[in-house]
Structure 1
């Protein structure tokens, strides 16, 4: 089976459904097929910075029951850039060499990183600095990593948002209300456009397509004129106000968070249409829960393929899903092609064909 290897795996950035399925697949392929050792690294780069390094050796027994579990058994973090890591005294420290040293202390021959575009860019930079053998797996509910048609976690998030719309439909009709569903999407509107179409929304607002309140109000008023006094509106959290301002709020640590566009719309749509409005913010429910079958399938295929890349010594590559199969591409190429919703793409054309208002 070739040279014996000792590989590490970590999950970085925001969590999502399907991460445990990747960990399971990597372990099965590496241990079961190649007879390698697999080290699961806790809390992403923070585990590699810790002394001793925080990691656990993974075997088939440890991953036997995690396929259907949400989250990540290894934990993750999306706080603190390792190149400017916040210290207790308020200063910032470059911890990249500490991470590289952690890789060395574990005796790793290669590292698999599961993350979105931000965390994968950081991991790649560290790998290049330390001449580490690195392979990437894309995960993000936003589905905005370039080159790949699907990232782990996206399908489950869409399923959850669609189910929410299904449930809101009945209470909207019962009370003649405009129901606004605010979904996640840091920069891209993939969840909103997919769930909106699947859930029968009347209005879908995404950051890639400018909107006016007049156009949204007109759509709702058309329903009212037809005797249908309820509407479903889906909006991505990254959508700005009509004036182009990002709607955010600050947590107790002073961190600025996206959120609030749903209430902004509710206040203004109530005024212009006279309709009673209600807002549902899905938030982190889109990240949690049991992964969908498709996310488990994609995660399993990615995990197996990533291990095979290491066996073939195809480092600095990312596994992607293209045309029903796994294809690997250079990480830099994937990160250089940000994947927003295409305003001329199939889903937008489908929404327009269904007379869904996109606000423009």
Structure 2
């Protein structure tokens, strides 16, 4: 059992005047059964603040790919700062981390109640986003020049690695900058976060597409509908949408390798029996079947995946042509449709809670942390701890057993 130490700017001496505060001694275990694992500091409002709200200047940046709920997070961060603490100077850096470099030529925008009015009903991010790093020294120079005391970084693993670099650089210079991350990934694959915002909305939207795919497949003799869903390294969206839909016959995810021949054989049996099939495949599944070039990476440094959707479509058509079995393929790739939706009610609530706990942490002087969520309790997770703690679908877990029971597919395809 190890107690995680939450980085802090120093002693907090200003009375917050808030009710129902949380003690720094309150701990949340990593596991609730057996060995408790690591113990994390509980998130929430503190009795003592590090920053004087009337003198505080805060900033928000959103980075990486889109995800339902980004505007909700921006709005709730601002409202907790503005109405909850009385911080009136809040800025939004535009265009992702690039906006922290003054050379980009896009000045930050001052956030006001009018600026965030109604943005939670819109998909995307009102501040804009991008992938890729920023010159850390110039970014910190810019933050110091503008008198920024708090920086909220809304993004995934790459974003939070950048946040850690900014925190470390500011600390090295002796500048009291609170850097607090709000974890964002539509794939639901961040360590120490049981459910990321936007995930439930993504599953809900994916189910709508699967419903359409099922209609297409069953309305045509020999109909096969193939739907490619998001999930580079984790199949949570595919697994969740499969179980929620109940109309998927085959689900393929990155965590469970499969034999192409065995999969095609099972699909052929299904078509001879039912004459239609729906297949859901995560974008990162079956990469071992493709020839990926390790030198090809996106601006965030992620390996560019091979297109498993087009590959499977071609192999399915080839297989049934060789067997002289007529099929009609319908291919769906709703990735941008799924991630650009506004957050649903459940995710809207989650966005609000992540954002407000981030503000509580920052005002209390916590820094170099990401807001986590374990056992329905929000926690402070040192950013450095995220490295090497990716979350994946466990093939021996209830997640995957539910998928197998829903689809009836072999486990594994070998």
Q: Normalized against structure 1, the TM-score is what? A: 0.88
Question: Residues 27 and 272 of structure 1: is their aligned pair in 2 closer, same or farther, counting only changes over 3 Å?
Answer: same
Matched position secondary structure for 1:339? coil
Q: Which residue of 1 aligns with 2:217?
A: 172
Give the CA RMSD over aligned residues.
2.3
Contact 2:271–2:277 (8 Å) recurs in 1 = no
Q: Which residue of 1 aligns with 2:253?
A: 206
Q: Which residue of 2 aligns with 1:236?
A: 282
Cα offset, 1:188, TM superposition: 1.8
Contact 1:11–1:44 (8 Å) recurs in 2 = yes
Which of the residues 228, 236, 240 maps onto 1:182?
A: 228
1:69 aligns with 2:122: yes
Which of the residues 121, 124, 134 maps onto 2:161?
A: 121
The 5 Å alignment of 1:56-135 reads 56-78=109-131, 80-82=132-134, 95-131=135-171, 132-135=177-180
The 5 Å alignment of 1:238-257 reads 238-240=284-286, 243=289, 245-246=291-292, 257=304
User: Considering only CA atoms, is the larger Rg found in Structure 1 or Structure 2?
Assistant: 2
Cα offset, 1:16, TM superposition: 1.3
Q: Which residue of 1 aligns with 2:267?
A: 220
d(CA) in 2 for partners of 1:259 and 1:191?
19
d(CA) in 1 for partners of 2:287 and 2:154?
33
d(CA) in 2 for partners of 1:316 and 1:241?
34
d(CA) in 1 for partners of 2:369 and 2:287?
39
More deviation, 269-278/341-350: 269-278
Runs of 4 or more consecutive aligned structure 1 residues displaced over 4 Å after TM superposition:
none
d(CA) in 2 for partners of 1:295 and 1:357?
33
Matched position secondary structure for 1:258? coil
Q: Which residue of 2 aligns with 1:92?
A: none
The 5 Å alignment of 1:332-351 reads 332-351=384-403
Question: Residues 240 and 246 of structure 1: is their aligned pair in 2 closer, same or farther, counting only changes over 3 Å?
Answer: farther
Which of the residues 45, 57, 68 maps onto 1:17?
A: 68
Contact 2:213–2:330 (8 Å) recurs in 1 = no
Q: How many residues get paired?
A: 343
Q: Which residue of 1 aligns with 2:193?
A: 148
d(CA) in 2 for partners of 1:166 and 1:265?
20
Q: Which residue of 1 aligns with 2:353?
A: 301
Which of the residues 314, 323, 327 maps onto 1:267?
A: 314
Question: Residues 265 and 129 of structure 1: is their aligned pair in 2 closer, same or farther, counting only changes over 3 Å?
Answer: same
Q: Which residue of 1 aligns with 2:43?
A: none
Question: Residues 27 and 130 of structure 1: is their aligned pair in 2 closer, same or farther, counting only changes over 3 Å?
Answer: same
Show structure 1 runs of 5+ residues with no match.
83-94
Q: Which residue of 2 aligns with 1:191?
A: 237
Q: Deviations over 1:312-353 (max 9, x none)?
A: 212111112222232222222233311122111211011122
d(CA) in 2 for partners of 1:111 and 1:241?
37
Contact 1:211–1:358 (8 Å) recurs in 2 = no
Cα offset, 1:241, TM superposition: 5.1
d(CA) in 2 for partners of 1:32 and 1:247?
50
Cα offset, 1:246, TM superposition: 3.7
